Amino acid sequence: MARRELLTEEERASLFGVPTERAALARHYTLGPDDLDFLAARRGDANRLGAATWMALLRHPGFGLRHDETPPRELLAYLADQLGLSETLFGAYGGRAKTRLEHGWDVATHLSVRGFEAGDVAFALDRAAQAAWATDQGLPIVHAVVEGLRERGVILPASARIERIGLAGRARARKRALDAVAGAVTAEQATALDALLVPDPTTGVTPIAWLRDIAGSPSARNLSGLLSRLAYVRRIGLDPAVADNIHERRFRQLVREGAVAPAFLLSDYSVRRRRATLAAQMIDLEARLSDAAVQMFDKQVGELFTKARAAQKRHNVASARDVGRLMRLFDATLDALATAREDGIDAIEAVDQAVGWARLQEARPQVEALAASADPDPLVGAAARYMTLRRFGPAFLEAFRFRAAGGRDSALAAVKLVQDLNRSGRRDVPADAPLPFSRAWKALVGEGENIDRRLYETAAFATLRDRLRSGDIWVDGSRNYRRFDAYLLPRAEVPAAAASLGLPATAGAYLADRARQLDWRLRRFSSALRRNAIEDVEIRSGKLKVTPLSADVPPEAARLDAIVDRLLPKVRITRLLSEVARRTGFTDRFTELRSGKTHPNPQALLAAVLADGTNLGLERMADSSQGVTYAQLAWTQAWYLSEETYAGALACIVDAQAALPLSRVWGDGTTSSSDGQFFRSGRRGAAGAINAKYGADPGQKIYTHVSDQYAPFHSQLISATAAEAPHVLDGLLHNASSLDIHEHYTDTGGATDHVFALSHLLGYRFVPRIRDLADRRLGTFEAAGRYKELEPLIGRPINTAIIHECWDEVVRLAASLKAKTVAPSVMLKKLSAYKRQNRLDFALQEIGRIERALFTLDWLESKTLRQRCLAGLNKSESRHALAAAVFTQRQGRLTDRTVESQEFRASALNLVTAAIVYWNTLYMGRAVERLRASGHPAPDHLLAHVAPLGWTHISLTGDYLWREPAAGSEDFLPLRLNERLSSVA
């Protein structure tokens, strides 16, 4: 029977191996004065070196010098150098086993350490269980045991024994977690949980499968389905506080396991494990269904107003001819009146003769109708679809308990009034109804006895939507629609988190520094403009003019690009992924949900990733593949592919690509850019939204961050109608790679004052290419008159009072984002949802205006900065073509019903493109080496324009062959030298 293992070979080497790097040798094996005195007492040089080796290995990794062990030459050389001896003396050490043993005990006494005893087992087991309380991963569990024994002054037992202790500790932690959750389940709840796995006799579908089927396409029917599922889960009656009984990570693992395990597998679990897993999933599902229902309500209400605006636009187009005819009639009437006045004749008679009184009377109803329909408030058009609102609105209100800060929130009162009207069946809105609406809406809705029920209810739902977005109103049980400050760090934890940001302690210190800098920079810029000293920038006729940059790609670079491209080997995408996996080890990051082990069949794992990455799907991938089956792919997708494992695998590839020599030609990995790419949805019912910018088809955007070395290090699925700016900082803060980004580029869609503010507070230099830069006014501390030449560029002064007032909350927000308690996009969306600007939002905007003013001066003064930004954005935009080429199946459409499935496709697509970038970088480097060896010039300044984004040499479609011959990590495909090298030599 095979021995159960907790660690991989790599993890075992990292914990128990002897380091050979110079820095690690110095950290672990430098001898102190007491050590040197102790060793000096040993007789014979070989014994001194042997005893020093014992000393070193007892300190790290902690086993001592084991029988027949020969330490690495680097360690022996490092120790021998400190003793003034030759490392070769170790060969003469320990001829007598007794000598080695005696030295071991003497050194142990010197170091105050002892052997592992029976009493240490319980201690080590406790340490393992404590570490396993949060995770099933072997490395942190074993690390906790090892560190505990070292602190206790115990020589480590054999690594296999440590792993067995770790396994036992993990089993104990799992049992405790299952007991903590299952023990909180009542007998009635247990019966309801068991019933989740019993198929319905009419449909054959289990309740658990029905509950998991969460539709993403917004419709009244789908919202009703979400509310029905939510009601089902609530009837089970589980207390969400049960999740607090165990560690958050352990609970999340139970949730993930419950979300993917089929009913038959859950039925095979032990009673305790099954009920704990199902209970965790139901608690999580209640929050997920709540969020999904609120989000769909948001989209449904928004769609009413979108359709109202679209209908008005169609009406304006359709009535254009009538408007033109009536305007010509009006023009003729004015001419007649002017003539009558000049000639002194009767105006009515003049109009009657020139135009015709009867004709004017006939036109009057048409004029009134057009006037009534001319640009009405969208509320009127939305209320015209009142019956659509009634299909989902009342049920939505009954499904949730809405809360607000304070007890007299007028918006919440309006919502409760609508609920009361629905429950009682009353038609008329009471005269004293709360009116939490804008002045324009109040005028439309009416007051007192004249309140229009349809307009009132539509306005109340729209207001509820906005307040839910901002967090002013929240719902119990939700995860994404909580109170605004629930997302932030507790105030007591802010100082420690803020210290890492290096921000000024007070608003006064920040403002004094920025005011001094901005004043100096403005005066310097003004002076330079007077002297025409700034290249390609001028103020002409009160308007800022910046000469656009042209693409600066030398023709020699294009020729070199073509030569390098034709040298690259032709390769199937399956062979490419297998090679990248072998060289980077990214497949090891896809660990099994329950055990944390790597996949036993890497080819099935790669096939499952490629099925999503190319949009082919599992069934068609299985049909097109040799060596994998649909069952293997489905199991792999369920148990190995997750947001966390995709992030880890992507980081592995990105870091490996950054380590390739050629990547340094493109950048040092400290700058990046981001941009959104639109993908159309497929059939009716697929999740997606319509953005007129991309046509009439619904779809989604994938927003991707790309390093200056072309590696796509983060991607996320966002709505086609969503603003891109809130997501700029997500990729910088929430990627798993080792990239150290300092400067980030976007186009105009990513540039808002809020992003400028938070980028500065979080330590990033934000450099957007702003299309309407000339129309954006600069904020200043001093009066505009201080900078005469720049007055056309200067807007209102900075409101320093609001920054002083809200500085602590601004720092709290920035510290919370840095601590990753919440994503930046979540908070920026909530701030933007306020109908009336709140104080924190206003303060953040004013800080952003300061930082935008300083950036604008940087942008105008530095052509190099503008060129750097353009080059960065070109890298993002060029990557779109590669992504579109990979994602070609099903016409490149996202056909999934759920957003979650679409998110997996986005992650897989980004991983596949990252693998192609890595492989291209690797083989382009080999091609360049060969060109240079053959005497063909390939200078770095030209290679800087040669991107690793080509795919013509890659077979992306066809049959997928997954049985690749075994190869060592140093085996490369041959370059196509016979085709091209003779022509370039």
Residue-level pLDDT at 324: 75
Question: Does residue 835 register a pLDDT over 70?
Answer: no
| Whether the predicted pLDDT of 965 surpasses 60 | no
**Which pLDDT band, with edges at 50, 70 and 90, does 137 fall under?**
confident
Q: Are 560 and 938 in contact (CB under 8 A)?
A: yes
* Residue 20 belongs to a domain: yes
Cα 758 from chain centre: 16
**Residues 54, 66 contacting (CB under 8 angstroms):** no
HSE-CB of 270 using CA atoms within 13 angstroms: 7
Q: Is 838 exposed, middle or buried (0-12, 13-18, 19+ CB in 10 A)?
A: middle
Is 937 among the domain residues?
Answer: no
pLDDT of residue 313: 78
Token look-up 């170091």 returns 111
The single residue listed with the structure tokens 């890595």 is 918
On whether both 411 and 373 belong to a single domain, the answer is no
Does residue 109 lie in a domain region? yes
pLDDT for position 471: 86
- Burial class from Cβ neighbours inside 10 Å (0-12, 13-18, 19+) for residue 406 reads exposed
Interval 64-114: pLDDT, tens? 888 778 899 999 999 999 999 999 998 888 767 787 888 889 999 999 999
- Mean pLDDT of the 592-597 span: 82
End residue of a domain, out of 450, 482, 514: 482
Q: Are residues 430 and 334 in the same domain?
A: no
Asked whether residue 947 is domain-assigned, the answer is: no
**Does residue 958 or residue 243 have the better pLDDT?**
243
Q: Three-state SS for 690? A: strand
Residue 809 has pLDDT above 70, yes or no: yes
Domain co-membership, 782 together with 795: yes
Report how far residue 43's alpha carbon sits from residue 864's, in angstroms, rounded to the nearest whole number: 68
Same domain as 234, residue 177? no
Question: Do 280 and 312 belong to one domain?
Answer: yes
Q: Is residue 303 part of a domain?
A: yes
Both tokens assigned to 958: 């066809």
Segments forming the whole domain that contains residue 474: 400-482
Contact 631, 659 (CB under 8 A): no
Q: How far is CA 941 from CA 339, 557, 665, 924, in A?
A: 76, 9, 8, 15
Whether the predicted pLDDT of 129 surpasses 90: yes
C-alpha 358/C-alpha 336 separation (Å) is 15
Average pLDDT over the chain reads 89
Judgement on whether residues 387 and 413 belong to the same structural domain of the protein: no
Among the candidates 893, 911, 941, a domain finishes at 893
Residue type, 44: G
Report d(CA 284, CA 254) in Å as an integer.
Answer: 10
The model carries a pTM of: 0.82
Whether residue 107 sits in one domain with residue 119:
no
Q: Is 683's pLDDT higher than 70?
A: no
CB 582 within 8 Å of CB 969: yes
Among 182, 202, 218, residue at a domain's last position: 182
Does residue 81 sit within a domain? yes
pLDDT tens, position by position, 242-275: 999 999 888 998 999 888 888 999 999 999 999 9
Q: Is the pLDDT of residue 2 over 50?
A: no
Q: Are 54 and 71 in contact (CB under 8 A)?
A: no
Both 178 and 255 in one domain: the answer is no
Would 676 be classed as within a structural domain? yes
Query: Tokens 């906790």 belong to which residue?
Result: 144
- Whole-angstrom Cα distance, residue 33 to residue 489? 47
pLDDT category at 983 given cuts 50, 70, 90 is very low
Predicted pLDDT at 172: 94
Residue environment code for 708-722, b if the CB has 16+ CB neighbours within 10 A, otherwise e: bbbbbbbbbbbbbbb
pLDDT bracket for residue 1 (50, 70, 90)? very low
User: How far apart, in Å, do the first and last CA atoms of the chain sit?
Assistant: 60
Nearest alpha carbon to residue 163 among 12, 2, 1, 10: 12
Closest residue by Cα to residue 589 from 857, 925, 914: 914
In this structure, the answer to whether residues 37 and 59 fall within a common structural domain is yes
Q: Which pLDDT value is given to residue 673?
A: 97
Residues 393 and 275 in one domain: yes
As for how many domains the chain has, the answer is: 5
Show contacts of 421-430: CB within 8 Å, 24+ apart: 421/453, 421/457, 422/394, 422/397, 422/398, 427/453, 428/453, 429/453, 429/456
Nearest to 980 by CA among 567, 559, 561, 565: 567
In a domain, 861, yes or no: yes
Q: What is the DSSP letter of 270?
A: -
High-pLDDT (> 70) share of the chain, %: 95
* Cα 931 from Cα 559, distance rounded (Å): 13
Residue 583: C-alpha distances to residues 44, 657, 871, 972 (Å): 47, 10, 29, 11
Least confident of 360-369, 871-880, 902-911: 360-369
Query: What does the pLDDT read at residue 625?
Result: 87
pLDDT tens track for 391-422: 999 999 999 999 987 667 899 999 999 999 99
**Residue 450 above 60 pLDDT?**
yes
- Helices 602-613 and 630-640 meet at what angle, rounded to 10? 80
What does the pLDDT average to over 113-135?
93
pLDDT of residue 120: 94
Output the six-digit token pair for 154: 């115990």
pLDDT band at 530 (very low <50, low <70, confident <90, very high): confident
Q: Which are the contacts of 228, defined by CB distance < 8 A and separation ≥ 6?
A: none
Same domain, 404 and 370: no
pLDDT score at 63: 92
Note the pLDDT of residue 985. 40
Question: Is the domain of 417 the same as that of 356?
Answer: no
